[in-house]
Amino acid sequence: GMNERFDRIKRATGVDPEFFLENMFYATYGLGDLYRDAAKIGERAAISTRRVVYPDPIIDRDIRRLDADVFASLDLKRFFQPLGQVGTAKVLTTHTSGDGLVVAAHAHALEGKLPANQWSRAFVVESNPSHCDYSDAEVLGGFEALTDWIDGGPQPDALAIQASCNRERSANAQLGACRFDPNYQPGPLSATLRPRNDPAAPIDASVSGLWYDPARSGEGYLIEALDAVRVTVTAFTFPSPGSSADQAWFTGLGRVIDNNLVVDAMEGRKGGRFGADFDPGTLQALPLGRFDAALTACGVGEQRVQAPAPFADSRRPLQRLTRVGAAVCPGQLPALGVSPFARWSGAWFEPDKPGRGLFLQVQDDGRAFLVWFSFRPDGEPAWIIGEGSSDGGDLVFANLSRPVGTFYGSAFDPAAVRLEPWGTARLSGSGCTSLAIDYQSIQPGYGQGRINLTRLTTPLGAGCP
């Protein structure tokens, strides 16, 4: 019975019997510490088994099926998954083929994370299982190849690393064998770490748009997918209770981790002014903390904010309300043609007045959405929002408003939101690198005028060719 169960575990895990006890140790104590430590996973389910297909039919039938907490999973990835954020560093990795702990297939985890011209790898082929059982010559050969590369030499491949090893061995035969094999290829990572097959949305043009919690209409996020690894997230919301402000906004540049959006520092501003009398030097930072989004399907996910006082942590649903261009989700019908104004989508600002600006997002059907982030005449944050349409070669926003009346977080009341009429605006220009906005406000202190704008961002699916 015990041997049968042991054989079943071996088939399910692919663990070499030589390393069974070591792997059991890490699975019991190492993962136990990772799971229980409040500073790590904090007893949350970070790894799912719900959709894993195990090779043994009995284990596949009987194993306990768990759903991962999406943010526990993200926290695990954030701190323990290689992201390739090494700057311009040159990286050389080596593995021994028979290692049952740091298996050679782990090298696949870096694929797509490091540029090819910054990453060299080589494998030592063993006749018996071991854990990092390099000869001294192999260690020195790898180190020599890396330092020569750093000092301006050519990028080494497995043949070059083997040659470095042989030079070390020729100088001292006691350093051991040289077994780097340029023809060796490790097996797939999926054979070692079974795919979780969790639901996930691709990070592409469909990420861009206005997002919100359907239970909290009146506030939300404007998200732009800039490329496969970068996003911008801007929150348009309300102040904490007791504030003299009546609106708040926060923005940040984020990164992509699998199907997650991560902004380490969301920050707002106050102390500015609307119009020409604006001095960026008077701005004061308003930190909101960290924003995360886990997108489980196109246009659907969850958002989490980890905020300092006077704000508070939150975790809520997230749903896409608008799109950029023709980036529809499955089941949605695109427009018959794409509006030429879709290319205007992006963030726009005044280069001589950084710290304020506007976001424009235009759908393929021509519906245009403007969110203008600026300041009240007294310096408190202000955001102005509206839907527009085309008028010849311009976009016209005839009913801009400034939503007010409620507060941030648990004090938010969607029924209390009032859409104060603000005025009108007209956008004109080519939309490639520059636009102009002509505005006329009916609220005191904003006046009327014309502002020339320069493109700051180009979300996927927008911009000129």
Most confident of 14-23, 81-90, 374-383: 374-383
Instruction: Note whether 112 and 228 are within 8 A (CB).
Output: no
Residue 16: band (very low, low, confident or very high) from pLDDT cuts 50, 70, 90:
confident
Task: Evaluate if residue 10 carries a pLDDT over 90.
Answer: no
DSSP letter for each residue of 11-34: HHH---GGGHHHHHHIIIIIHHHH
Residue 138: band (very low, low, confident or very high) from pLDDT cuts 50, 70, 90:
very high
Q: How far apart are CA 166 and CA 175, in angstroms?
A: 10
Tens digit of pLDDT for each residue in 307-333?
999 999 999 999 999 999 999 999 888
Task: Evaluate if residue 298 carries a pLDDT over 80.
Answer: yes
Residue 286: band (very low, low, confident or very high) from pLDDT cuts 50, 70, 90:
very high
Question: Which residue, among 221, 417, 215, has the nearest Cα to 316 in the 3D structure?
Answer: 215
Instruction: Note whether 270 and 245 are within 8 A (CB).
Output: yes
Report the mean per-residue pLDDT for the chain.
Answer: 94
Residue percentage of the chain with pLDDT more than 90 = 83
DSSP, collapsed to helix, strand or coil, labels residue 279 as coil
pLDDT of residue 65: 96
Tens digit of pLDDT for each residue in 387-416?
999 999 999 999 999 999 999 999 999 999
- Bigger pLDDT: 2 vs 162: 162
Tokens 């919690």 belong to which residue?
213
> Once rounded to an integer, what is the mean pLDDT over residues 230-249?
97
> Once rounded to an integer, what is the mean pLDDT over residues 140-155?
98
Residue 137 is given by DSSP the state: H
Residue 94: band (very low, low, confident or very high) from pLDDT cuts 50, 70, 90:
very high
Beta-carbon-side half-sphere exposure of residue 396 (alpha carbons within 13 Å)? 5
Amino acid identity, position 299? G
Instruction: Note whether 363 and 324 are within 8 A (CB).
Output: yes
pLDDT of residue 11: 75
> Once rounded to an integer, what is the mean pLDDT over residues 458-465?
86
Residue percentage of the chain with pLDDT more than 70 = 100
Residue 85: band (very low, low, confident or very high) from pLDDT cuts 50, 70, 90:
confident
> Once rounded to an integer, what is the mean pLDDT over residues 155-169?
97
pLDDT of residue 283: 97
Task: Evaluate if residue 14 carries a pLDDT over 80.
Answer: no
pLDDT of residue 7: 82
Ordered by start, the domain boundaries in the chain are: 1-81, 86-196, 205-455
Task: Evaluate if residue 57 carries a pLDDT over 80.
Answer: yes
pLDDT of residue 192: 81
Phi, psi of 69 (to 5 degrees): -75, 125
Task: Evaluate if residue 419 carries a pLDDT over 90.
Answer: yes
Interacting residues of 173 by C-beta distance below 8 A, sequence separation 6+: none
Tokens 């923005």 belong to which residue?
251
Q: How many helices (H) and strands (E) does the chain have?
A: 7, 18
DSSP, collapsed to helix, strand or coil, labels residue 241 as coil
Adjacent-strand bridge partners of 455: 348
Give the C-alpha distances (Å, rounded to integers) separating 303 from 68, 326, 332, 430. Answer: 16, 24, 23, 35
> Once rounded to an integer, what is the mean pLDDT over residues 296-304?
97
Adjacent-strand bridge partners of 292: 262, 304
Interacting residues of 112 by C-beta distance below 8 A, sequence separation 6+: 84
- Bigger pLDDT: 8 vs 379: 379
Phi, psi of 11 (to 5 degrees): -65, -40
Q: Which of 24-28, 338-342, 457-461 has the lowest mean pLDDT?
A: 24-28
Instruction: Note whether 433 and 399 are within 8 A (CB).
Output: no
Instruction: Note whether 321 and 210 are within 8 A (CB).
Output: yes
Interacting residues of 447 by C-beta distance below 8 A, sequence separation 6+: 275, 441
Q: Is 358 exposed, middle or buried (0-12, 13-18, 19+ CB in 10 A)?
A: buried
